[in-house]
Structure 1
Amino acid sequence: MIEVLAPGPYATVQDLGRPGYAHLGVPRSGAADTAGLRLANRLVGNPEGSAGLELTFGGARLRFSAGAWVAVTGAPCPLASSFEGGALGMRAPFWLPPGADLRIGLPAWGLRTYVAVRGGIDVEPVLGSRSTDSLSGLGPAPLRAGTTLPVGGTRSLPPICADHAPAPPLPPPVLRVLPGPRDDWFAPDALDVLCARPYEVSQDSNRVGLRLRGGALKWARQGELPSEGVVTGAVQVPPSGQPIVFLADHPPTGGYPVIGVVAAADLPIAAQARPGDSLSFRLVNR
């Protein structure tokens, strides 16, 4: 069992989401930085899709009532424990004895940090996923002080065979974007404007999407576009002309035109962007 002594600014349980329900109006949700969660799970011998904790801007303190193997990935934070003599580090499995506290500081860069425990967070699944969905409210509530989280069994898991994952370089603030499907709704130079200068990440950003400030993307058509399906990474543009990059908790449909879609490989970069950061787009072919 894990007791949350302090959750930090915003912390949730996340796995790889609940795909297959968009036709029912249910977002996929799941970890915003899937690469970070997958790595954390591999380091402790879990299946990659096991549920872990997603911390927004660190600042969490967790107590482990039973001994546990733990790994922390994503935005790099200082780690400390009440257990004397234990070596703690990012991107490496470490042992916490019964009753130990884990303290996670503020990230040096990036926004979201992932904590995996061997056995996975074993809260009750909803529609096949243990993810907290901030848009629909499905899944467990965001963590708060006093929340307790069960941990799954470990007997069926393979031995831990990874000792350390190399530190990733600071990701370049560039998102590759594929044009369309509604780029014909915009002025002929709109894609050039999108890629010409960096955009600033707004304070209004969250797990639903990155709201950006910068060069306005002008519509070439009047009227309204009927709501249609959208995917993670879609760059939707409301009448203000300021783009929004959809993240894990985006709605299954949208009514504003989508000028482009961020390449899937670059979604972790978007997920780690903080308010005030600069992001640029680079147009690529399919």
Structure 2
Amino acid sequence: MIVVEQVGPLATIQDLGRPGWFDSGVGVAGAADRASFRLANRLVGNSEECAGIEVLLGGLALRADRRCTIAVTGAPAPATVDGTPVGHASVLELGAGQKLRLGMASTGLRSYVAVRGGIDVPPVLGSRSRDTLSGIGPRPLRSGAQLPIGPAPHTLPNVEFAPVANLPTAMLTIRAVLGPRADWFVDADALFDGEWVVSADTDRIGARLDRRAGPPLRRSVSRELPTEGMALGSVQVPPSGQPVVFLADHPITGGYPVIAVVVDADVDAMAQARPGQPLRFRRTR
């Protein structure tokens, strides 16, 4: 059992999501930065789909009621065990009663905590992920919550830490494929010209972008768009002309045109971009 003693801005239980429910109006959800989530599970010897904790910015404190193995990845929130600093993206052993605390990350947006055996809360529609848009899945963590741990896997962690690249603090380059509604805009290539900034209006559903300099994107088609499916990474443009990049908890349908779609490999980087982060789009095929 893991006991939650403190929660920062937000902490949710996540796994790799619940695919296969679009026909019932339910999205996939799951970890926003899938690569960091998978790494945390691999470090403790779990299969990649085991449930862990996604932590927004930091501020989480956990107490182990028995010996357990933990790893913290993603945004590099400074971590301590009983006050002693410990390494990021490393294998940590907590004894009974010991406490893991995460400070506030100086870069990036989301950290991930994996425990050997996974967080064993009851699944909903085959997943333990919290979908913040629909409200499906376990509630966001609160102080005093007790999180059961699943059976330890037979595989053992085979590294003590994983070298990971620093998250970018300067310009972030995001690759995107133009379309499917690029023809609804006066100049769709304007998305790739100049620079954008992640606004404060960003969450697990999507990241809204502001133009750093220059006008917003302008539509050439004024009629309404029939509701159509929305993919992870879709760059949707509402009437304001300020695009929104859809992330893990995005709606599965929408009525605003999608000017481009972020390539899957760059969605994780987009999920770590915090408000104020400058970025540019690079067109790819």
Compute the TM-score of the two structures, normalised by the length of structure 1.
0.95
Letter in 1 for 2:129: S
Corresponding position of 1:108? 106
Contact 2:132 2:249 in 1 (8 A): yes
Letter in 2 for 1:127: L
Give the % identical residues.
53
Q: Does 1:18 align with 2:15?
A: no
d(CA) in 2 for partners of 1:279, 1:270: 9
Corresponding position of 1:186? 185
**Unaligned ranges ≥5, structure 1:** none
| Residue 208 (structure 1) aligned to one of 202, 205, 208 | 205
Corresponding position of 1:126? 124
Give 1:74-223 correspondences, 5 Å limit. 74-82=74-82, 88-154=86-152, 156-171=153-168, 173-187=172-186, 189-191=187-189, 193-214=190-211, 215-223=215-223
SS in structure 2 opposite 1:270? helix
Letter in 2 for 1:202: S
d(CA) in 2 for partners of 1:230, 1:167: 31
d(CA) in 2 for partners of 1:157, 1:128: 23
Q: Deviations over 1:11-35 (max 9, x none)?
A: 0000000011112110110000000
SS in structure 2 opposite 1:184? helix
Contact 1:12 1:141 in 2 (8 A): yes
d(CA) in 2 for partners of 1:170, 1:128: 32
SS in structure 2 opposite 1:204? strand
Letter in 2 for 1:173: L
Deviation of 1:147 after TM superposition, in Å, equals 1.2
Q: Deviations over 1:181-213 (max 9, x none)?
A: 1111111x222x211121111111100000111
User: How many residue pairs get matched?
Assistant: 280
Corresponding position of 1:31? 31
**Unaligned ranges ≥5, structure 2:** none
SS in structure 1 opposite 2:151? coil
Letter in 1 for 2:235: V
d(CA) in 1 for partners of 2:196, 2:275: 11
Corresponding position of 2:62? 62
Q: Deviations over 1:225-254 (max 9, x none)?
A: 011111110000011111000000000101
Q: Deviations over 1:145-202 (max 9, x none)?
A: 1111110011x42122122211213346111000111111111x222x2111211111
Give 1:265-284 correspondences, 5 Å limit. 265-284=265-284
Deviation of 1:83 after TM superposition, in Å, equals 7.2
d(CA) in 2 for partners of 1:9, 1:98: 27
SS in structure 2 opposite 1:175? strand
Letter in 1 for 2:68: A
SS in structure 1 opposite 2:37? helix
Compute the TM-score of the two structures, normalised by the length of structure 2.
0.96
Letter in 2 for 1:142: P
Q: Deviations over 1:61-102 (max 9, x none)?
A: 111111100000000111111176xx7211111100001110
Contact 2:75 2:167 in 1 (8 A): no
Contact 1:43 1:160 in 2 (8 A): yes
Contact 1:83 1:96 in 2 (8 A): no
Structural RMSD (CA)? 1.2
SS in structure 1 opposite 2:11? strand
Corresponding position of 1:73? 73
Corresponding position of 2:246? 246
